[in-house]
A and B are shown apart, each in its own frame.
Chain A
Amino acid sequence: SQQGEEDPQALSIQEGENATMNCSYKTSINNLQWYRQNSGRGLVHLILIRSNEREKHSGRLRVTLDTSKKSSSLLITASRAADTASYFCAPKSGANNLFFGTGTRLTVIP
């Protein structure tokens, strides 16, 4: 399967805490992307990390990638209520398709 599998399935934290979500995949990749989805509608691209990168930052987001373990993690620091959403990873191989797992549903409690 080319899709990533996110873990945990659900995560509930207090506002201000950090949230960590993990992604495991099975195939070789060119890059891995993280997306967020609010209210079951369109997904929004958050960050892309290439296979030759180990860590990438964007604002309060930090993504790591371990290609030897075929895993990635997404850290959201100083969480806010507005971060409440579902988060999906998408391992990407060349020009191939984008596949999504079931996601991590994050709830940030004010």
Chain B
Amino acid sequence: GAGVSQTPSNKVTEKGKYVELRCDPISGHTALYWYRQSLGQGPEFLIYFQGTGAADDSGLPNDRFFAVRPEGSVSTLKIQRTERGDSAVYLCASSLQGATEAFFGQGTRLTVV
């Protein structure tokens, strides 16, 4: 596709459930970023991939959060045992290489009830 695609656009889940959020980056982009954003706040960094490997996962808040990018393209953010505090918009971005502009998807709005 022409841009970064995130699915689903909205996800409502019950507390304690497992969720997966998908990001399809722009073809050929080696860098991929995940952020989460709460209302009125800036995007909070979660994890950054360079190719298949996580170059920086220091933003993952705890071990309930995990992300993979097995073939260096599509990435999945996985959240186990969801909590109401996980409710936020989860944003994905990709770029050609680390130093150039990033292109964002429209995000997945996760609501934990």
Binding site for B on A (CB under 8 A): 3, 30-31, 33, 35, 40-45, 48, 86, 88, 92, 94-103
Stretch at the interface among B11-19, B72-80, B99-107: B99-107
User: Which residues from chain A contact B105 at a C-beta distance below 8 Å?
Assistant: 42
CA distance A98 to B59 in the complex (A): 12
Count residues on chain B whose CB falls below 8 Å from chain A CBs.
28
Listed from nearest, the 4 A-B pairs whose CB atoms lie closest are: A95-B98, A42-B104, A45-B101, A100-B42
Give Cα distance in the complex from A100 to B50, angstroms: 19
A1 → chain B closest CB, angstroms: 11
Add 7 more A-B contacts to A3-B42, A43-B91, A99-B45 (CB < 8 A).
A40-B37, A42-B104, A42-B105, A95-B31, A95-B99, A98-B33, A102-B41
CA distance A98 to B33 in the complex (A): 8
Whether A30 contacts B99 in the complex (CB less than 8 A), given A41-B107, A43-B104, comes out as yes
Tell me the minimal C-beta distance from B25 to chain A in angstroms: 13
In the complex the two chains form, is A97's CB within 8 Å of B104's CB? no
- B interface residues (Cβ-Cβ under 8 A, vs A): 4, 31, 33, 35, 37, 39, 41-43, 45, 48, 50, 55-56, 89, 91, 93, 97-107
- A32 → chain B, closest Cβ, in Å? 11
Write the chain A residue with the least CB distance to B31.
A95
- Taken together as a complex, chains A and B put the C-alpha atoms of A99 and B37 apart, in Å, by 12
| Docked-complex contact A45 and B103, CB < 8 angstroms | yes
**CB pair A31 B99 closer than 8 Å:** yes
Given known pairs A97-B33, A98-B33, A98-B93, the reply for A43 and B43 (CB within 8 Å) is yes
- Most-contacted residue by chain A among B33, B42, B101, B107 (CB, 10 A): B42
